[in-house]
Structure 1
Amino acid sequence: MGALMSCMSSPPPSGSPPQAKRRSSASSRRGAKAAEIDEQALAAAAALVLGQRGGGGGGAFDRSASVRYAAKRQQQGPPLPRSSSTRPRSLADPELQPQQLLAKDLNTKDLETNIIVLVHGGGFGAWCWYKTMSLLEDSGFKVNAIDLTGSGINSSDTNKISSLSEYAEPLTSYLKGLDDAEKAILVGHDFGGACISHAMEKFPSKVAKAVFLCATMLTNGHSALDIFQQQMDTNGMLQKAQELVYSNGKDRPPTAINIDKALVRDLLFNQSPAKDVSLASVSMRPIPFAPITEKLMLTEGNYGSVRRFFVETTEDSAIPLSLQQSMCMANPPEKVLRLRGSDHAPFFSRPQALHKTLVEIATLPRPQAS
């Protein structure tokens, strides 16, 4: 469409100076290229949702797309074009190349682990990490994005998920499959924080570090519902946006939560590029209700033995900054880092700054014993 509009544009007056003609031509080319990229993004989004409806081959999502398609991507030549968003770039998210974010002498093989596992939040899927996966892989990390049960292209029915352990099973199965000497850095977003907490309690020896990215970082005996209830009391936006699903009948407890599409941008993506919002709008799935209400059993010997880090997002409407800080005060992590200007989806709104923060955490040595 952009190319067609470019061809139909009237030519500049004959008296226009050559420089003005060049500017007009360059502007048309940029507009056509932007439209082309947006069309590609929407086509990819449509392919994703068709894959979900088709069951993804009928099986669970096997580790990450980055593992299965890494070799193919290398054969295809140069990477896809960068975002064509017209959003003004914040100082918190400068236009940097991956090699600029790392010390030139950094070798990820020298770290305690170079394995990073990305765990999405409620309603999201492995698809939301596509920018972060690419940046981390280019920096030398082994990256796995997990589709939790009933999420992304996992074919399970969200309404039938009855526990947190069932919901987080793809993550715990992945950790169980690691070799004895292998560890991973877990990054949990949103409700993914409860999922990585469950995994830390179950497999503490497999987790080198845990990163809570504007996530539910709970204390023993509490549920994610406790946190979301506080959010509702803070500004009420979440309560307006959520739609409860009663697949077992109105006289039974809810089975899932949907987010109102009309409010999803203001709640989750108020700083994100339009094409990423489009991708999310056709890819997000209902959030299972039972795992949100489950109270976590966390012990100091297991969960407490893992190094924890929290990443704040300052423009977050889903889990406001004040609520994030409240969680950190109740359950202090080793370090708190901040992504200025980020909404609740930093992998969309501040991908470069998020990448830099994750690399910083991955390279932090264990504190010296006093």
Structure 2
Amino acid sequence: MELSKKHFMLISFFIILSSLGIEATKEPPRTGKHFVLIHGSCLGAWSWYKLVTLLKSSGHNVTALDLAASGINPLQANDLQSSFDYFKPLRDFMEALPSHERVILVGHSLGGLAWNIFQDLTLATLLLRPLRLFSDEDLSKQLMLSFENYESVKRVYIISEKDKVARRDLQLWMIERNPPNDVVEIKGSDHMVMMSKPIELWAHLQGIAEKYSYPIF
């Protein structure tokens, strides 16, 4: 899945996903940054509800969408033939962006099944949906990243200290194998950082957005 040359920065909790985006909300643009929130597996746009409120209250534009067969998206897991179908809402959004617009992508997990780790367990049990598992071969085929575009993206990894899905040693291994521009850690957070430590995440995202903002030529 190759993207056109948009100006964006990526913040990823657990997996670097520089080729993903999501469907725009119906709100008018705001004067702040444009944060695009990408939910993890089995989840949906609903999982960001705490962070969306905090970011919007700070004057930012926020987009959170359901991937295919996730959240309230009408497709079912069995309807997806490959990861290409799963990521279609992301791809459509990114391709529709004006050439001058920059967005900050915030990706969560996209790989870990999130049972028994929610602070908002009642909400999660009502809204979780099954995820079709895709092979490594399929993912490698669909998520092709060019060196030119990938290296042009500023990437920040947020370590979740108390994560029991992507444990700390795994997170450090991923960071070592694919070094980002910066690494920050949220103390006491679990896999669902946006629910367990929303205020801390909100503060970090604003700081990161300011640090890595740059003019468009």
State the partner residue of 2:72: 153
Aligned pair 1:290/2:146, yes or no?
Answer: no
Runs of 4+ deviating beyond 3 Å: 61-64
State the partner residue of 2:198: 351
C-alpha change, 1:160 and 1:291, in structure 2 (3 Å) is farther
State the partner residue of 1:184: 103
Aligned length: 189
Superposed CA offset, 1:75-101 (max 9, x none):
xxxxxxxxxxxxxxxxxxxxxxxxxxx
Shift of residue 303 of structure 1?
1.6
Aligned pair 1:171/2:171, yes or no?
Answer: no
Shift of residue 294 of structure 1?
1.8
Shift of residue 345 of structure 1?
0.3
For structure 2, the residue ranges without an aligned partner over 5 or more in a row are: 1-21
Amino acid corresponding to residue 281 of structure 1 in structure 2: T
- Residue of 152, 156, 172 corresponding to 1:305: 152
Aligned pair 1:139/2:62, yes or no?
Answer: no
C-alpha change, 1:300 and 1:358, in structure 2 (3 Å) is same
Amino acid corresponding to residue 360 of structure 1 in structure 2: G
Whichever structure has more helix as a proportion of its residues is 1
If the length of structure 1 is used for normalisation, what is the TM-score? 0.48
Shift of residue 281 of structure 1?
0.7
Q: Which has the larger radius of gyration?
A: 1
Give the share of equivalent positions with the same residue, in percent: 35
Aligned pair 1:278/2:122, yes or no?
Answer: yes
C-alpha RMSD of the superposition? 2.3
Superposed CA offset, 1:295-341 (max 9, x none):
24322111221111100001101111111111000000000010110
**Native 8 Å contact 1:124 1:285 kept in 2:** yes
2:129 partner SS: coil
Inter-partner Cα distance in structure 1 for 2:199 and 2:122: 20
State the partner residue of 1:123: 42
Shift of residue 172 of structure 1?
1.4
Amino acid corresponding to residue 131 of structure 2 in structure 1: I
- Please show how residues 1-370 of structure 1 align to structure 2 within 5 Å: 63-64=24-25, 67=26, 109=31, 114-191=33-110, 264-265=115-116, 268-269=117-118, 272=119, 276-290=120-134, 294-295=139-140, 296-365=143-212
**Native 8 Å contact 2:23 2:90 kept in 1:** no
2:71 partner SS: coil
C-alpha change, 1:305 and 1:334, in structure 2 (3 Å) is same
State the partner residue of 2:3: none
Shift of residue 366 of structure 1?
5.7
If the length of structure 2 is used for normalisation, what is the TM-score? 0.80
1:324 partner SS: helix
2:157 partner SS: strand
Superposed CA offset, 1:203-225 (max 9, x none):
xxxxxxxxxxxxxxxxxxxxx6x
C-alpha change, 1:126 and 1:323, in structure 2 (3 Å) is same
Amino acid corresponding to residue 103 of structure 2 in structure 1: A
